[in-house]
Amino acid sequence: MTKFAADLSQWWTAITWTDFVWFTFGLAAQSMFAMRFLVQLIASEKVKRSIVPDAFWYFSFAGGFGLFLYAVHKVDPVFMLGQGLGLFIYARNIYFISLNKKEAAAARGLTAAQ
């Protein structure tokens, strides 16, 4: 444990302002990405069954995009590939959410006109 503390102390004293900003950005992106699980847990607990609320996909995309940018900054191709592929899935689900809301609104308008 003392080696870890020494390494952490050395990292802290050597970090540049730019690296600290990127570190903070990466931490915020990871927190955003992790929030999707909390959102899903709360939504599922409310209805007592497993569901995936719309907010899950928005948090996934925002956190994934932030982590992708962080991976690009770190020049980590494994991390970039993992986050980059996920972004397509998250974006596709957000597209479906938007499409379904438009279709539902159009159906309500059609029903109201009849």
pLDDT digit string (tens) for the chain, length 114 residues: 788 888 888 988 999 999 999 999 999 999 998 999 999 999 999 999 999 999 999 999 999 999 999 999 999 999 999 999 999 999 999 999 999 999 888 887 766 555
Residue 44 buriedness (CB in 10 A; 0-12 / 13-18 / 19+): middle
Give the span between the Cα atoms of 59 and 65, in whole angstroms.
10
CB neighbourhood size of 16 (10 A) = 8
φ and ψ at residue 77, rounded to 5 degrees: -65, -30
Tokens coding 88: 């397509």
Q: Which two tokens stand for residue 109?
A: 């308008």
Domain extents in the chain = 16-113
